[in-house]
Chains A and B, each alone.
Chain A
Amino acid sequence: EAQVTQNPRYLITVTGKKLTVTCSQNMNHEYMSWYRQDPGLGLRQIYYSMNVEVTDKGDVPEGYKVSRKEKRNFPLILESPSPNQTSLYFCASSSIVGDTQYFGPGTRLTVL
């Protein structure tokens, strides 16, 4: 089954404790992206990647890092989380040929 998986689905952590949210897709897609969703603000793009070792900033990259060492994985790293990063995070992927963007189920992060 074609899918994008994210782990963990729910996470409660404390300020400053480094964390990683994993994202993996099994569709051999070149393009992957991270978004955060906040009430009243919709989805905002954090980072995206056009292919392995190619990443670029979206609209709200501050406080986040990403890496793309393998085509299927695109982890989101919060080196020192802060309460304003409490949000619902989505990973997505699509083929470079251009078509549907597939979204993961979301990760709800709470930073205390």
Chain B
Amino acid sequence: AQSVTQLDSQVPVFEEAPVELRCNYSSSVSVYLFWYVQYPNQGLQLLLKYLSGSTLVKGINGFEAEFNKSQTSFHLRKPSVHISDTAEYFCAVSDGPGGYQKVTFGIGTKLQVIP
């Protein structure tokens, strides 16, 4: 069975400050990891994904994440946040690329950017 733990339910951060949203996973098979973003009253949008290869993954809007197999983590980072980054962020693990099969999401982290 696979699971995802997002350690922070809410993260307030000042505009232009760096941010890290934490995600830990467990899985008994090869993992594929994703971060999605959900803006208020909208659906989910892929931010970035790790399927294989380089452990540092760059996504849209200046976000990046690092896959750490030994720590079973996939933390999301941005060096300088903007007001427009205020949203809910979901980490997800799948047993197939692109979410082929079962996909498990974390409970989400609400990022609040303070002007």
Contact = CB atoms under 8 A, between A and B. Distances in A.
B25 to A, nearest CB: 13
Nearest to A91: B43
Contact of B98 (A56, A90, A97, A104): A97
A74 interface: no
Interface stretch (B12-20, B65-73, B77-85, B101-109): B101-109
B43 A40 contact: no
For chain B, what secondary structure do more than half of its interface residues adopt (helix, strand, loop), or is it mixed? loop
A33 B103 contact: yes
A92 B107 CA distance: 18
Interface in A72-112: 90, 92, 94-101, 103-106
Contacts, number: 69
B51 interface: yes
Given A40-B107, A103-B43, A98 B102 contact: no
A31 B107 CA distance: 23
A98 B32 CA distance: 11
A99 B97 CA distance: 7
Interface string A6-41: 000000000000000000000000010101000011
A100 B103 CA distance: 13
Interface residues of B, number: 26
Contacts of A104: 43
B98 A98 contact: yes
A52 interface: no
A106 B44 CA distance: 9
A42 B105 contact: yes
A106 B103 CA distance: 18
A35 B104 CA distance: 10
15 contacts: A40-B107, A42-B90, A45-B104, A45-B105, A48-B102, A48-B103, A50-B101, A58-B103, A92-B44, A94-B98, A98-B96, A98-B100, A99-B98, A105-B42, A106-B43
Interface of A: 31, 33, 35, 40-45, 48, 50, 56, 58-59, 90, 92, 94-101, 103-106
